[in-house]
Amino acid sequence: MTFASSVPVMVVLLASGVAAFTDVRRFKVYNGLTYPLCLAGLVFAALTAGQQGFLESLTGVLLGFGVLLLPYMLGALGAGDVKFVAAVGAWLELQVMALAVLLGVIACGVYSVFLIVRHRRYRQTWTDMKLVFLRLAVVGRQFGREDDIESVQAVVGHDDRRERLVPFSAMITIGIVATLVWRVFGEW
C-alpha cells in the first residue's frame, strides 16, 4: 500500500468513526465534519493524481450525493447522512464506495428488522412501508410529504420515539470499515 492509497483509508476510517459516534449519540452528522472532509478529499485527489484524480473525486461526491438524495427527500434519512456519504465519495474509488454503501445499506436493513421485532411494531411498519411505496409512485409528479409518515427530522425531536430510528451514518460506517478492511487485507 502506497502513501497515496493509505491516506484516504486512514482519513475515511477516522471520519467514519466520528460520524458514527455523533449519529448514534445525537442522530446527527455535523457539517463541521462533512464539509472539510469533502473539500480535503477533492484537494488531496487533485494534489496526488492531478486533474484526473480531481474529476474522479468529484464523481465520487456526486455519486454519494445522488444515491441518497431520493431517500432524503422522502424523509428516510437526514441531510448529514447524505453529506457524509458524499464526502466519503471524495476519498474513495467509485467501486469501493459503491460496495461500502451497499454493505452499509444491508447493515441498515438488518438493524431495522431487529428494531421492528424488538418493539413489535409490525402493523405500523407495514403502514409506513405502504406510504413509502405510494410516495415513490408519485415521485415523478411531486416531492411532497403531506401524508402522515414522519420524517427522520421530526422523530429525532421526540425522545420517546428516537429508539426506533436507525443511525444511518453508523450503518454506513459498518460498510466502510468492512470494505476497507477487505480491500487492505484481502484480495481486491
Spatial CB neighbours of 95, under 8 Å, sequence gap ≥ 6 = none
The DSSP letter of residue 76 is: S
Look-up: residue for cell 429508539? 163
Domains in the chain: boundaries: 3-185
- Of 164, 153, 176, nearest in space to 73 by CA: 153
Can you give the pLDDT at residue 140?
45
The tens place of each residue's pLDDT in the chain, 188 residues long, gives 565 578 999 999 999 999 999 999 998 999 999 999 999 999 999 999 999 999 999 999 999 999 999 888 877 789 999 999 999 999 998 999 999 999 999 998 888 788 777 777 777 766 766 666 666 556 544 554 454 445 555 555 555 555 667 788 998 999 999 998 888 777 65
Distance CA 108, CA 102 (A): 10
**Cα angle vertex 34, ends 30, 36, to 5°?**
120
Distance CA 96, CA 153 (A): 29
- Of 133, 139, 53, 140, nearest in space to 94 by CA: 53
The number of C-alpha atoms within 13 Å of 84 and in the hemisphere containing its C-beta is: 34
